[in-house]
Structure 1
Amino acid sequence: MVKLLIADRDQNERTGIGWLVSSFSIPFDHILLAGSVSEVFHLIEAEVPDVVCIELDMIPKDAWDSFKELTKRYIQKVIVMTAEATFERALQGIELHAYDLWVKPQSPDHIKRVLTQCCKAVSKTEEKQEPSAQIEVPSVSYSSLFVHQETLGANFRLMLMQLENSKKQPILLSFLQEYPFKNRPVVLPLSDMIVSVFSFDNQQPQPLKQLKHIGNRILTEWEEQFSEPMSLVLYDTNDPLLSLNEKYLHAKQALEIRFFKGYRQLSVIEDKVNWVMIDPFLTPSEQREWIDMLNEGDRDKIKQWMYKEFLNKADPYPEPGLLRTRLTSLLAQVRRFMKSFYLDEGMLERRYHQVFESILYNPILYRIVQELLLFLYEVLDRANNNQENARTDVIEQAIRYIEENFTNPKLRLEDVANQVNRSAAYFSSLLTKKQGSSFRQLLTKTRINEAQRLLIDTKLSIQDVADKTGFINANYFSKIFKEKTGTTPRSFRNRKKV
């Protein structure tokens, strides 16, 4: 285990360096933070970090000799930082046999390079000190990966590597074939990933710790040489009953976690991923909310809604396919808005199809959200520019009016036709032609949909539900509800509760 201690009086400096270590996947197993000399002394003696990155200015003169003795006794690599580029500070660095001297502010690239070199040097030292023991790897093949075999799998750990661009997989294969593994795994390249099978005997301590170290090193060294994003899953379990085939299927499923976490990450999985099931479709109230946000052109509200709904997800994650469906349900509302302003043509129409393709196939959720938001902003800009001269589609206007006024039991065809400045006969013909249903059918469907929601989501009486959905009385409501759904309102509510 390679430990790093970051010591600086400035909390932002400590946090910033720690973030760089995590962001660049520098394979330190543990990061310690200290904001005072007393914390530094305590952590060095208690945790024995391998690398110490310390601000020289925080060490008082009366503690200098003690600190120097501690570093000599416990620390392998020391990096010193200072805001004073003076000869005195340089001499202090020399006294500590510092690996490097950082004068603030230091560039992130330099910090990354130096810390990576220190981590590698410490790791190599530890490997030399460990007794080497070559493990005889049992027979592992494509057959054992894809066919269930009862006896094969107990002592195996899997590491799955997947590039964003699968065409560059031969480069990854060559990289792994040349990689200096201490105990070389069986490497099995597939069409869209590479599976590495590691074997451990029962006497080897902490195989997961070793594999996490290997995985982080692979990520770091791959990024140093190549720019292609890679996702890496480490599947570790002590379940002796799982075959290699079952472990592979669980690990393959875990690759989908990159949908939420992105590439350049090591995910450690110890069991089958259990996705959370969600309703993938927008509710009627959410649909109305989206129509309002789009009509108002409220970009901030749209952005906040998207971020809250789709980003910052944590384990257990929702099933990715259901989230994609939910995004397409949202895009359908945008499509409707586009049609109402005659924006479903030309460049914007092509962009719509690109966003739809991205929702279906883009492997990373935050990329989909960002692309969808940018598209929404384009749509709102065009709608705003064309609003004064655009002739809103008559049927879309009418449907919107029905959705806003269906609770009125006296709503008539003539009322809606007057709203869109058309005769009742012409509007009725146009509605049937475009929607495939009459005014009365559309109105009844809207009322029944809302009634179903109220029966499920509220405890309102049947009479109250009838009142809130535009029916003249509860008896007539129950009659129409049964005609359209095949069951009474009360039976519908009770059945949904079961």
Structure 2
Amino acid sequence: MKKLLIADRDHNERIGIQWLVSSYSLPFDKIFLVENIEDLVVTLENELPEYVIIELDMIPSNQWARIKKLVQRYSKQIIVTTTERTFERAVQAVEIQASNLLVKPHSPEFIRKTLYKCLHDQTSVAKEYNPSKATFSNMVSYQSLFIEEAPKGKPYQLCILQMENKYSILLLRHFLQEYEFSIRPVILPLTDIVVCVFEDENPQIRQELNLLLLNWNERYEEPLAIVLHSLSDESLSLRQMYIQARHALELTFYKGYRQIISIDEEWKWGRVEPFLSPTEQRDWIEMLHNNNHEQMKTWMYQEFLNIHEPYPEPGLIRTRLTSILAQIRRFMKTYGLDQDLYEKHYHQVFETILYSPVLHRIVQEILLFIYQLLEGVIRHQESSKMDVIERGIQYVETHFRDKTLSLQKVAEFVERSPAYYSHLLVKKHGLSLSQLITNSRVKEAKKLLLETQLNIQEIAAESGFANGNYFSRIFKEQTGMTPSDFRKQGYQNNRIH
């Protein structure tokens, strides 16, 4: 069991390092936080932490000899921190035999690398274990994974490695082929995972995999998860072990990557109702219509980020999330937000629910989408108070690039009949909707002609015109010159000024 002690007078420093350790899934089983000398002494003597991060500035000079002796007695890896960039602090770091001296403020990345190095140095002792190199690859093959065979009469250890980005499997294969195992396993790459089978002669398999994961994290940013099948049951065939380990790989949906997941007992998926109940549906409708950010956030966190073992099958959770999205969809339609960017974002969230490998990211994406919708509702409610003619004009100025933009679309948006809206527009501004659309498109075209190097066809498309010839004709009618002449004149005026 790996224990880490963080001793610092600054509460934020202690919590920050603890968060960093958790964020990067560093393999510490217990973390102790202390803020004074008394707690430091008690924790050192009672818990015997192997790894210590200690602030030198918190140790009074009359306590230095005592603390140094205790830390050196109980700890294998020591990191010291200080705000004083002095020779005296450097000497103390040497005296206490620290692995590293960190001068505050230190970056999270530097702390991460320092901890990785300490873990690597300590775990590498496992490399000394190196019994017989005899191969057993002739007994293990792809056939062992996919065809049921009788157990070989001796237990194996099997693990599955998977990257969060399953399409980068070649990188993982290359890494494992070059990696120096104390006892090399049989490596069986598949399309989305790599299976490693070890002969049961290495009692330090967990340390071996910890070291492998540390090496991976030092070299690559891509998250990696390892499932270790450690059930001691000689009656299991390799195929049965593979199926159980592959099944357990789905726990990354809840636990995330950058860690080792052990199967040390038989387990089954828990249960959860995949659809919202009528009461929950009403609650969601009420929360959405009341614009209650915090209540929805609390509901989502309690429902999905506080799930404990036995975990429900991930497919049930995804179904439950789509049930929530259905309520959000009804809300969108109520306020006319089922179009344009909102509609696109809705489909992106739906894809995230179906395929994102980690639950907490799905929850965050749904909440961000909800917040965007609620802001859209506020804008929609404000715009509904505007003059109906100006709302239509605003719609045209936003959607003039749409080649199918028409009086019918604008009238539907402002909830008036096409004839009536056209009458109001002509009466107030003296121009038809088609003239308004053309004016907006020509205005955009002028801007693109002067500020970009796009050709005439590209500008026509960007401005909402059906084709380049039609654009050139309309542009000349509006401005008295061709698009090319307008661009040249603009360049000349810029040179004069």
Same fold (TM over 0.5): yes
Q: Give a deviation string over 1:226-268, Cα, whole Å, max 9, x none.
A: 2222222122101222211111111111111111122223222
The alignment partner of 1:197 has SS state of strand
Matches within 5 A, 1:199-210: 199-201=199-201, 207=203, 210=204
C-alpha deviation, 1:48, in angstroms: 5.8
1:56 aligns with 2:62: no
1:278 aligns with 2:272: yes
Q: C-alpha distance in 1, partners of 2:71/2:280?
A: 61
Distance 1:29 1:309, change over 3 A: closer
Give the gaps of 5 or more residues in structure 1.
392-498
Q: Do the aligned residues in 2 keep the contact of 1:135 with 1:199 (CA within 8 Å)?
A: no
Q: Give a deviation string over 1:408-444, Cα, whole Å, max 9, x none.
A: xxxxxxxxxxxxxxxxxxxxxxxxxxxxxxxxxxxxx
1:151 aligns with 2:151: yes
Q: Give a deviation string over 1:319-353, Cα, whole Å, max 9, x none.
A: 21111111111222222222223332333222222
Q: Do the aligned residues in 2 keep the contact of 1:342 with 1:390 (CA within 8 Å)?
A: no
Of 327, 338, 343, 2:332 maps to 338
**1:115 maps to what in 2?**
115
Of 346, 360, 374, 1:366 maps to 360
Q: Give a deviation string over 1:286-332, Cα, whole Å, max 9, x none.
A: 22222222222222222222222222222211221111111111222
Distance 1:249 1:85, change over 3 A: same
Q: Do the aligned residues in 1 keep the contact of 2:123 with 2:207 (CA within 8 Å)?
A: no
C-alpha deviation, 1:94, in angstroms: 2.9
Matches within 5 A, 1:438-457: none
C-alpha deviation, 1:12, in angstroms: 4.7
Matches within 5 A, 1:213-232: 213-232=207-226
Distance 1:74 1:356, change over 3 A: closer
Q: Do the aligned residues in 2 keep the contact of 1:254 with 1:273 (CA within 8 Å)?
A: no
The alignment partner of 1:315 has SS state of coil
Q: Do the aligned residues in 1 keep the contact of 2:3 with 2:50 (CA within 8 Å)?
A: yes
Q: C-alpha distance in 1, partners of 2:382/2:109?
A: 52
Q: C-alpha distance in 2, partners of 1:233/1:46?
A: 32
Q: Do the aligned residues in 2 keep the contact of 1:27 with 1:213 (CA within 8 Å)?
A: no
**1:234 maps to what in 2?**
228
C-alpha deviation, 1:198, in angstroms: 1.5
Distance 1:30 1:153, change over 3 A: farther
Q: Do the aligned residues in 2 keep the contact of 1:25 with 1:220 (CA within 8 Å)?
A: no
Distance 1:145 1:258, change over 3 A: same
Q: C-alpha distance in 2, partners of 1:388/1:106?
A: 47
Q: Which moved more, 1:312-321 or 1:211-220?
A: 211-220
Distance 1:293 1:259, change over 3 A: same
Give the gaps of 5 or more residues in structure 2.
386-497
Distance 1:83 1:254, change over 3 A: same
The alignment partner of 2:98 has SS state of coil
C-alpha deviation, 1:59, in angstroms: 3.6
Q: C-alpha distance in 2, partners of 1:8/1:190?
A: 47
Q: Do the aligned residues in 2 keep the contact of 1:189 with 1:195 (CA within 8 Å)?
A: yes
Identity %: 48
User: How large is the Cα RMSD of the aligned pairs?
Assistant: 3.0
**1:198 maps to what in 2?**
198
**1:165 maps to what in 2?**
165
Q: Do the aligned residues in 2 keep the contact of 1:154 with 1:243 (CA within 8 Å)?
A: no
Distance 1:137 1:74, change over 3 A: farther
For residue 148 of structure 1, what is the amino acid of its counterpart? E
C-alpha deviation, 1:62, in angstroms: 4.2
**1:413 maps to what in 2?**
none
Q: How many matched pairs?
A: 384
Distance 1:190 1:78, change over 3 A: same
Q: Give a deviation string over 1:135-187, Cα, whole Å, max 9, x none.
A: 65361111111122221385212211111222211111010111111011111
Q: Which moved more, 1:134-143 or 1:164-173?
A: 134-143
Q: Give me the TM-score of the superposition, normalised by structure 2.
A: 0.69
Q: Give me the TM-score of the superposition, normalised by structure 1.
A: 0.69
